[in-house]
Amino acid sequence: MVSVKEKPPLIVDGKRIDGRRPDELRPIRIELGVLKNADGSALVEYGNTKVLAAVYGPREVLPKHIAMTDRAVIRCRYRMLSFSAEERKSPAPSRREIELSKVIREALEPAVMTELYPRTTIDIFIEVLNADGGTRTAGVTAAALALADAGIPMRDLVAGVAVGKVDGVLVLDINEIEDMYGEADMPVAAMPGLNKITLLQLNGVLTPEEFRQALSMALMGIRKIYELQKEALRKKYASTTEE
Ligand code: ADP
């Protein structure tokens, strides 16, 4: 990754720093079932952002007193590995990681049929292997896939992407430089099949009109990622039934 001290031009001849058009996603790669010991797992890449999600459960709740009599408890831990960022990140859990673990859990919870598994827990682990912007949204996409890969019944998949404003232009799926030097950063996650938004945050400044445009740009990107999620699940399911 480039080290930049002064703000570089983020849009040149209508193209972004990595050559993308404003409404273009980074190349997205999905791999399912990458971990033998987990009940479900997924590796997701948005360009250089690489995130691994593992799901365990539904399983017995420990400590027992946190169990719910009418549904499963979902626990989520998002973590950035020390080597994932350009400057070594301290392995101690940061305020940011604690907050993001909660935000990601809340983005996924509406999709999971927790009522089918009372008195159990579903544990979601998200490890950021390489960070280049959009790790929370790639984390949501990966975790939804890991839940489906674990065979946990879901109302819909959840996918996420961040929209930003850089050099006055709204751009889809921002990378770290665009996040760092842009005017706004808006991560969004949604369940496209159910037409519900489950995560929406905005840092920076947008007009209400830009906000509306940014949201529809995010939902357009999410719909594309959702199609890739379904394709990956279909592929794995087809190859498992053939065996
Ligand atoms: P997101 O990764 O969801 O976009 P942020 O907006 O907080 O979340 O972070 C943007 C990017 O900044 C991250 O993807 C990562 O590349 C970088 N970053 C965030 N926190 C750290 C950190 N503690 N150390 C190094 N890089 C970080």
CATH code, 229: 3.30.230.70
In angstroms, the first-to-last Cα distance of the chain is 42
Q: CA-to-CA distance for 17 and 167, rounded, in angstroms?
A: 11
Q: What is the pTM of this model?
A: 0.96
Whole-number pLDDT of residue 239: 76
Number of domains in the chain: 1
Query: Is 1 inside any structural domain?
Result: no
Residue 241 pLDDT exceeds 80: no
In a domain, 8, yes or no: no
Query: What are the residues whose beta carbons fall under 8 Å from the beta carbon of 102, sequence distance 6 or more?
Result: 76
Contact between residue 19 and residue 47 where contact means Cβ atoms under 8 Å apart: no
User: Above 60 in pLDDT, residue 118?
Assistant: yes
Give residue 128 CA to ligand 1 midpoint distance, Å: 10
- Distance (angstroms) between ligand 1 centre and the Cα of 30 equals 21
The answer to whether residue 184 sits within a structural domain is: yes
Based on C-alpha coordinates, what's the Rg of the chain? Answer: 18
State the residue range of the domain holding 122: 17-242
Name the pLDDT band for 6 (thresholds 50, 70, 90): confident
Report yes or no on 12 lying in a domain: no
User: Which residue's alpha carbon is at the smallest distance from atom 13 of ligand 1?
Assistant: 133
Residue 6 lies in a domain: no
- What is the position in ligand 1's atom list of the atom closest to the CA of 137? 3
Cα–Cα distances in angstroms (integers) from residue 67 to residues 108, 109, 110, in the given order: 19, 16, 18
Residue 9 lies in a domain: no
Is residue 144 a contact partner of residue 157, using CB atoms and an 8 Å limit? Answer: yes
Of the residues 179, 181, 185, 199, which should be mutated to test ligand 1's pocket, given the most ligand atoms within 8 Å of the CB? 179
> What is the per-residue DSSP string for 135-158?
HHHHHHHHHHHHHHHTT--BSS--
In a domain, 7, yes or no: no
Among 80, 130, 161, 186, name the best residue to mutate to test ligand 1's pocket (greatest count of ligand atoms within 8 A of Cβ).
Answer: 80
Overall average pLDDT of the 148-174 stretch: 98
Cβ of 185 less than 6 Å from ligand 1: yes
pLDDT tens-digit readout, 32-56 = 999 999 999 999 999 999 999 999 9
